[in-house]
Structure formats: C-alpha cells, structure tokens
C-alpha cells in the first residue's frame, strides 16, 4: 500500500472490497509526512503489525509525527531497488515543500509508477517513470481556477511554486512523455477540491494525448477507483 492518508476504518473498508485485510499487507510505502498522506498511519500500525517503509530523512520526520512508529519502520534507499513481497521497489525524489518527498516505481510482471505532490517534473521523476506500463500522476489544480479562487495569496504562491503541486497542464505534458515511453494506463490523482474538477483534469490530459492509444482515468475525489492492468483494461468506482 502507498500512503495511509485516510482513517483506519476507511482503509479497512477499501481493502475489503478486494478481499484484503491489513494483515495481508507486506508493507506501507510512505511518500511524505503531510497529514493527508499519513492520517491513518498511527492507528493502522497500532492495531496491525504492518512494516512501514520510508527513506532516511522522511523516516526521521515520521518518528517525530507518530510516537512509537520506530518499531515498525524500515529505512530504505532512494534511487536503489529493494525487494518487497516478491516485487522490486525503487523510491525517487519529488519536488515538494518537505524535507524529503518521494514517489515509487514498483516492478513485478510489469512496472507501475506513483508520483504526486510535486511542483515540477524533474529529470529524476521523468527517468523513474519512463517505461512504466501504468502510472498514477498528480493533476492537482487548474491554474485559472487557482489564481481566481478563494485561497490566500501565500497559499497560491506555495501551490504554484516548483515545490508545490502539479497543474493539469504540467500533468498533461508529463503524460505525453510517459505515453511515448510505453505507458498504456494513466490515472490522474491528488485533485484539489477547490481548484480543480475531474472533468477539467481529464479533458486537459485527454486533449494532449489525442491520437495515442492510452487508457486514461481520473481518480474520484472521494470513493474508490479500481483499474486492472492487462490486455483488457477494466475500471470501476
């Protein structure tokens, strides 16, 4: 599992849809310590002995956020593969306003990529995601909605900064790069409720990908999205 930003109850409910319980989890990969990515981690690790994986600086910050987490924390390298549950996992840095923020590339029968919470697409991100068959990438905001919206100026500057969040337009450019390097399934995630809509995000990326054979989906702002990667793509919410 990647991140644990919702309550333990909701995590259990979402896992149960796929016939999984927390005891079945080999580990939890954490991207960074912002609350919307670790809200359920304390309770989940309190009641279930699930290892938590994070790179060094992030691991230190997590220990400060969640007392007692040291007992289940596993420090991992960045940029080097490590084995987890029969898979090969590689963490890579993303550009976000934390001491250390990462995305993940997971390889088994195919390569899957996960990258959200980044103000810009660095060479490291692009290199890590190239060749992935399926990716979840951030389409956080529509720039016009953000600029004209109700957020205070300092928060708009933060989101628009190179260490903020990825816009629909920037996401579309990344999607084209990944599609041209082999991606067949692209999911748009981490949408802002105030500064974006699934329709805007999907349309922006869809138009950029026009003419390419890509399965494109937009994760709902609440609820579930299930995508089966294979010869026949299947999506359910």
As a whole number of angstroms, the distance between CA 233 and CA 140 comes to: 24
As a whole number of angstroms, the distance between CA 187 and CA 2 comes to: 15
| Least-confidence region, from 54-58, 98-102, 217-221, 222-226 | 222-226
Query: Per-residue DSSP letters for 120-150?
Result: S--HHHHHHHTT-SEEEEE--B-HHHHHHSS
pTM for the model stands at 0.94
- At residue 3, what are phi and psi to the nearest 5 degrees? 65, 165
What are 25's two structure tokens?
Answer: 């989890």
Q: Which residue has the tokens 């079945």?
A: 24
- 204 forms beta bridges with none
- At residue 214, what are phi and psi to the nearest 5 degrees? -130, 140
Residue 237 has pLDDT above 50, yes or no: no
Q: Quick one: pLDDT band at residue 231, thresholds 50, 70, 90?
A: low
Residue 235 has pLDDT above 90, yes or no: no
Residue 153 is predicted with a pLDDT of 98
**Residue (of 149, 163, 218, 147) closest to 189 by Cα position:** 218
Coarse DSSP helix, strand, coil percentages of the chain, rounded to the nearest 5 percent: 35, 25, 40
Residue 119 is predicted with a pLDDT of 97
Residue 103 has pLDDT above 90, yes or no: yes
- Average pLDDT of the chain is 94
Residue 27 has pLDDT above 90, yes or no: yes
Residue 155 has pLDDT above 80, yes or no: yes
Residue 133's Cβ-count burial label (10 Å; 0-12, 13-18, 19+) is: middle
What are 13's two structure tokens?
Answer: 């409910």
């Amino acid at each position: 599992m990647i991140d644990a930003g919702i309550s333990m109850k909701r995590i259990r409910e979402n896992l149960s849809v796929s016939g999984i319980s927390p005891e079945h989890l080999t580990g939890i990969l954490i991207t960074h310590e912002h609350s919307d990515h670790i809200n359920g981690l304390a309770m989940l690790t309190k009641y279930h002995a699930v290892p938590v994986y994070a790179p060094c600086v992030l691991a230190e910050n997590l220990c400060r956020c969640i007392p007692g987490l040291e007992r289940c924390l596993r420090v991992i390298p960045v940029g080097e593969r490590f084995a987890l549950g029969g898979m090969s996992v590689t963490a890579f840095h993303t550009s976000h306003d934390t001491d250390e923020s990462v995305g993940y590339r997971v390889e088994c029968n195919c390569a899957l990529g996960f990258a959200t919470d980044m103000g810009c697409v660095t060479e490291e991100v692009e290199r890590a995601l190239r060749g992935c068959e399926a990716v979840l990438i951030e389409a956080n905001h529509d720039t016009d909605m953000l600029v004209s919206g109700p957020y205070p100026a300092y928060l708009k500057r933060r989101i628009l900064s190179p260490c903020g969040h990825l816009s629909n337009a920037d996401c579309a450019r990344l999607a084209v790069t990944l599609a041209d390097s082999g991606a067949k399934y692209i999911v748009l995630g981490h949408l802002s409720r105030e500064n974006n809509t699934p329709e805007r995000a999907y349309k922006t990326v869809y138009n950029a990908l026009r003419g390419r054979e890509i399965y494109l989906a937009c994760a709902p702002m609440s609820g579930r999205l299930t995508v089966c990667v294979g010869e026949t793509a299947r999506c359910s919410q």
